[in-house]
A and B are shown apart, each in its own frame.
Chain A
Amino acid sequence: DTGVSQDPRHKITKRGQNVTFRCDPISEHNRLYWYRQTLGQGPEFLTYFQNEAQLEKSRLLSDRFSAERPKGSFSTLEIQRTEQGDSAMYLCASILGGGNEQFFGPGTRLTVL
């Protein structure tokens, strides 16, 4: 399978715990995006990388959130001290530089109890 993959698919955690999600983009796609989707809403942009450089962060990305893409391939999104409001689907997408169509992974569904 050469699509975007995300791990885990589901995560249930208790409030206050830290969680980390992983995204593996389509190989050779140099741009990687993270979005968050809550129930009944469209996805909202969080941050994106071009290769290993994080170029843009949304105001939605509080200081409890951090994202990395250390070697310009896979990316991780960490949420520290989770809150119930963090419960959402976290989506990753990738794109080849110069292109316009982003290809999404299946998402990680986070539930904070």
Chain B
Amino acid sequence: DQQVKQNSPSLSVQEGRISILNCDYTNSMFDYFLWYKKYPAEGPTFLISISSIKDKNEDGRFTVFLNKSAKHLSLHIVPSQPGDSAVYFCAASDNNAGNMLTFGGGTRLMVKP
């Protein structure tokens, strides 16, 4: 069973607009959530994270929102830039179980100039 799901395999956005990437999880033991960005033939690059005790974390153009009751998180990128085009992975971990990451299937973001 997929404990972390990204239901949109792809997203296309115009440069300057907002990109919203969504992620759902099922395991209530997850207490830390991360977003990674990945280019082809490279490893994932850490982008932003959020603890389960918070509902929002912001870093520059990137904001992550967490809705624990809905078991849903989202990544907002404002404004979107062509260099943001990549595959974005949502990941979750349980700090009491070794911090191994459970990843979603990824969303390919394309930002058009």
Which A residues fall within an 8 A CB radius of B?
4, 6, 31, 33, 35, 40-45, 48, 55-56, 91, 93, 95, 100-107, 109
Contact = CB atoms under 8 A, between A and B. Distances in A.
A31 B98 CA distance: 9
A42 B45 contact: no
Contacts, number: 64
12 contacts: A35-B101, A42-B6, A45-B102, A48-B100, A91-B43, A95-B99, A100-B34, A100-B51, A100-B93, A104-B44, A106-B41, A107-B41
Contacts of B36: 104
6 shortest interchain CB distances as A-B pairs: A42-B103, A104-B43, A45-B100, A104-B44, A106-B43, A100-B32
Given A42-B89, A101-B34, A101-B49, A107 B42 contact: yes
A100 B43 contact: no
Contact of A4 (B4, B43, B101, B105): B43
Given A43-B44, A91-B44, A106-B43, A100 B49 contact: yes
Contacts of B95: 100
Given A31-B99, A93-B101, 5 more contacts: A33-B100, A42-B6, A100-B99, A102-B46, A104-B36
B47 to A, nearest CB: 10
A42 B35 CA distance: 12
Interface in B39-92: 41-46, 49, 51, 89, 91
Contacts of B93: 100
A106 B101 contact: no
A101 B48 CA distance: 9
A65 to B, nearest CB: 16
B32 A42 contact: no
Contacts of B51: 100
B94 to A, nearest CB: 11
Nearest to A91: B43
A64 to B, nearest CB: 21
Contacts of A41: 105-106
